[in-house]
Amino acid sequence: MKKRVLLAEDDPDTRVLLSLVLAEQGYDVAAARDGVEALALAEQDVPDLIVMDQMMPRMTGTDCLTMMRAHPRLGRVPAVMVTAAAGLVHGAEQLRFDAV
């Protein structure tokens, strides 16, 4: 059975590229356009890994992950931050991400 990755990325080109790379590595990818959509997808089918952009409309990656960490089924799912904001890299652990 393939591991499921939830990808949350608002940029369409980046979302498609990351989805293709993850799928080529053998993962089942569920892609969301923002944090609101990511939270809904995660609640429907708990992923094995979350790959999330920080700067997204409607709900940032940090806000989404905070809600996921409080959820009984999603709280322990590893999460990787993807961001173009270099300044966020050093604070990722404080933001509750496992890796950047």
Q: Give the pLDDT confidence score for residue 44 in this predicted structure.
A: 96
Residue 89 confidence (pLDDT): 52
65-81 per-residue burial string, b: 16 or more CB within 10 A, e: under 16: bebbeeeeebeebebeb
The pTM (predicted TM-score) of the whole model is 0.89
Per-residue pLDDT of the chain (100 residues; tens, 9 = 90+): 899 999 999 999 999 999 999 999 999 999 999 999 999 999 999 999 999 998 899 998 889 999 999 999 999 999 998 877 655 555 455 567 787 7
